[in-house]
Amino acid sequence: MAGTGDSVVSAGPVELLVFDTSPLMHFARQNWLGVLKAVVGERKALVPDVVLDELTESAARDHRIQAALEADWIEHRELRTTAEMAAFAEFASLLVRGNRNKGEAGVLALAKTSGGVAVIDDGAGRHAAKTHGVALRPTLALLCEAIRGGLLTVELVDALADDLLMSQYRLPFRPGGFRNWAQEHGLC
């Protein structure tokens, strides 16, 4: 109400999470996209066009991945500005080998130019993010944040991690090892 001394408080900018192919593909394969959506919460989830290409290619071989392409909470963004294309070229020169790692290069380019956070689990992509000043949050870090925030339980993430491992997702522990790994690293 005007004139009452009340002021409108701005919530500030929404955090942008720029996702790589692997988390989306593996969460879709194992039917955990709903958990990932909950973890994203009020933040904005983005994927660059090169990640869409990789997901589309994978969906042709595994229909379960189509869910990641159709998720209405994931915004698709074409890399098109001069800054985005220059950043993509920079990261592609570091990461892309043949057809590998185009998604990581696109994620890093979009995160760098948009002020977003790259959600990458691949070692080379994480290293490039760190050495080039791109904000990074691996998938396990997002899940641990959700546990600390009371959104998820350790038991749920342990089951989720075991399912991801069954789909050949690389994690730093064996099946049944999430709880111990998280405790050893002080994450949950």
Banded model confidence at residue 30, pLDDT cuts 50, 70, 90: very high
Confirm if 187 and 177 have CB atoms less than 8 A apart: no
Query: Which residue type sits at 85?
Result: M
Let me know if domain 18-140 sits in CATH 3.90.1150.10.
no
Over the stretch 38-79, which tens digit does the pLDDT of each residue have?
A: 999 999 999 999 999 999 999 999 999 999 999 999 999 999
Enter the pTM of the model: 0.91
- Comparing CA positions, the residue from 56, 117, 41, 144 lying closest to residue 24 is 56
Q: Which residues contact 188 (CB under 8 A, 6 or more apart)?
A: 144, 147, 148, 154, 157, 179, 182
For residue 50, the cross-strand partners are none
**Segment 8-27 mean pLDDT:** 84
- Comparing CA positions, the residue from 45, 99, 39 lying closest to residue 72 is 45
Q: How far apart are CA 132 and CA 145, in angstroms?
A: 24
**Segment 148-172 mean pLDDT:** 95
Over the stretch 84-115, which tens digit does the pLDDT of each residue have?
A: 999 999 999 999 998 889 999 999 999 999 99
Q: What is the overall mean pLDDT for the chain?
A: 92
Q: Which two tokens stand for residue 120?
A: 């990458």
